[in-house]
C-alpha cells in the first residue's frame, strides 16, 4: 500500500491520534526475524554491515544495512543484543538474500543463524505512552533490550521507534497463544493506513516502496544515514563504494519529504523550476497534523529544505515544499 490517500476515515484518524498522543499495537507481519549466536557473532557482523558495532553490547540496540559489493542496499535492519544473541528484523522481501549472505560469508567463524519468523509473534506497541501502559504487563530491561515474563512466558522486550514517538517490540513465542491474545486485547490495534502514515512522517522508509536494491544508503538522507551508517568504520561489504561517495561530498539524489497544497500520489513526477522531472514520489498520504504529505527521491538540485517543487497530478501541477525527513519534528 504505497498510496494512503483513500485512508482518511474517522477510524484511521482515531488510530493515528493514538499513535501520536497515546499508544497502539501494530502487527508487523512484513518483517522477518533473525537470530545470530556463536562467540564470533559481533565481530563477524561488524565486517558485513554499515554501522559500527563497537559499542553494540548486551542490552543495547542499533540499526544497520546489508549492502552488495556495489554499495547498493540488500536489506535494512533493526538489531538488539540480548541474552548472548543478536536479534534483528529485516523486511520480508530481503530475508532470503540476508540468509544467503550469512551462509556464504561465515567460513571459519563461530557464528550460527536462524530465521525465527515462525517461532515468534512480533507485536509492536508504539506511541508516547507505550512504556507507561506496557509496564502493567512486563518488566522493562535497564537498557534497550532484555528478556521479561508475560504471565510466566519468557519474551523478548526490545526498544524500537517505528512511528516517531517511541515504543517497544515484543517477540512472543508463537506457541504462547494466551499471552499473545492478552496483549492484543489490552491494546487497540492501529490499522495499516495509520501505521504507514505515522511511519512516513517519522521518515521510516519501506523496502520495495521508498528504497530497493538499486538504492544506495547515502541516498536516503541525513537522518537515515546517521542512524544506519558509520562513515569512519573499517571494511564491510560495499564500504569502498560508500566511502568514495562520501569523500566526494554527496550522492546525485536524496530521499526527502514533501508537504503539498493539494493531494499527491506515489508514482507522480516532481518538477523544479524549468525542469519537469527531478524525481518521483515514493509514498504519499493525508496527515491530520501536516496535511497532504509525501516522500520523494529527488535530484539534489531540488532536495533543499523549504525548496518549492511541483508535482504532476491528474489535475495539473501541484506545489509542494521540500522537508528533510522526518517531517515529524518534536522540538
Q: What CATH number is associated with residue 178?
A: 3.30.1360.120
User: Do 267 and 179 fall into the same domain?
Assistant: no
**Structural domains in the chain (count):** 2
Which of these three, 143, 164, 186, is where a domain ends?
186
CATH number at residue 305: 2.40.30.110
| Average confidence (pLDDT) over 127-146 | 97
Which of 19-28, 152-161, 243-252 bottoms out in mean pLDDT, i.e. has the lowest? 243-252
Confidence of residue 5 (pLDDT cuts 50, 70, 90): very low
Question: Which residue has cell 515544499?
Answer: 321
pLDDT in tens, 68-124: 999 999 999 999 999 999 999 999 999 999 999 999 999 999 999 999 999 999 999
Q: Mind giving me the DSSP string for 13-49?
A: HHHHHHHHHS-EEEE-TTEEEEEEESTTHHHHHHTTB
Query: Is pLDDT above 70 for 295?
Result: yes
User: Do 176 and 94 fall into the same domain?
Assistant: yes
**What is the extent of the structural domain holding 311?**
1-17+252-331
pTM: 0.95
Residue 209 within a domain? no
User: Do 50 and 140 fall into the same domain?
Assistant: yes
Residue 226 within a domain? no
Which of these three, 135, 166, 186, is where a domain ends?
186
| Average confidence (pLDDT) over 204-227 | 97
Taking the C-alpha atoms of residue 53 and residue 219, their distance in angstroms, rounded to an integer, is: 22
Cα–Cα separations (whole angstroms), residue 104 to 34, 38, 76, 111, 157: 16, 16, 19, 12, 30
User: Do 126 and 61 fall into the same domain?
Assistant: yes
Query: Is pLDDT above 50 for 224?
Result: yes
Residue 213 within a domain? no
Residue 193 within a domain? no
User: Do 13 and 29 fall into the same domain?
Assistant: no
Closest among 52, 51, 53 to 76, alpha carbons compared: 51
Residue 211 within a domain? no
Closest among 16, 29, 154 to 83, alpha carbons compared: 154
CB 308 within 8 A of CB 278: no
| Average confidence (pLDDT) over 228-253 | 92
Which of these three, 168, 186, 204, is where a domain ends?
186
Amino acid at each position: 500500500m504505497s498510496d494512503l490517500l483513500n485512508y482518511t476515515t474517522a477510524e484511521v484518524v482515531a488510530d493515528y491520534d493514538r499513535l501520536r498522543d497515546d499508544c497502539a499495537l501494530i502487527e508487523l507481519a512484513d518483517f522477518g526475524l533473525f537470530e545470530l549466536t556463536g562467540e564470533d557473532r559481533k565481530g563477524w557482523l561488524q565486517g558485513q554491515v554499515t554501522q559500527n558495532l563497537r559499542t553494540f553490547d548486551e542490552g543495547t540496540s542499533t540499526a544497520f544495512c546489508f549492502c552488495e559489493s556495489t554499495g547498493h542496499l540488500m536489506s535494512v535492519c533493526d538489531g538488539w543484543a540480548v541474552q548472548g544473541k543478536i536479534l534483528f528484523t529485516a523486511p520480508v522481501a530481503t530475508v532470503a538474500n540476508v540468509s544467503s549472505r550469512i551462509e556464504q560469508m561465515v567460513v571459519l567463524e563461530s557464528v550460527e543463524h536462524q530465521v525465527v519468523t515462525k517461532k515468534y509473534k512480533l507485536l509492536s506497541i508504539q506511541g508516547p505512552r507505550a512504556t507507561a501502559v506496557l509496564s502493567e504487563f512486563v518488566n522493562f530491561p535497564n537498557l534497550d533490550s532484555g528478556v521479561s515474563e508475560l504471565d510466566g512466558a519468557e519474551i523478548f522486550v526490545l526498544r524500537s521507534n517505528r512511528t516517531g514517538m517511541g515504543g517497544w517490540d515484543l517477540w512472543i513465542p508463537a506457541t504462547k497463544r494466551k499471552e499473545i491474545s492478552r496483549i492484543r486485547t489490552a491494546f487497540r490495534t492501529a490499522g495499516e493506513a495509520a501505521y504507514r502514515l505515522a511511519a512516513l512522517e517519522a521518515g521510516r522508509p519501506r523496502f520495495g516502496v521508498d528504497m530497493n536494491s538499486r538504492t544506495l544508503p547515502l541516498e536516503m538522507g541525513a537522518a537515515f544515514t546517521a542512524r544506519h551508517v558509520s562513515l569512519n568504520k573499517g571494511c564491510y561489504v560495499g564500504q569502498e563504494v560508500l566511502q568514495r561517495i562520501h569523500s566526494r561530498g554527496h550522492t546525485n539524489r536524496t530521499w526527502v519529504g514533501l508537504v503539498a497544497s493539494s493531494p499527491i500520489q506515489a508514482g507522480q513526477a516532481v518538477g523544479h523550476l524549468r525542469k519537469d522531472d527531478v524525481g518521483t514520489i515514493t509514498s504519499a498520504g493525508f496527515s491530520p497534523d501536516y496535511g497532504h504529505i509525501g516522500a520523494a527521491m529527488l535530484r539534489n538540485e531540488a532536495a533543499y529544505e523549504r525548496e518549492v517543487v511541483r508535482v504532476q497530478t491528474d489535475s495539473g501541477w501541484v506545489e509542494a515544499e521540500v522537508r528533510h525527513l522526518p517531517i515529524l519534528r518534536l522540538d
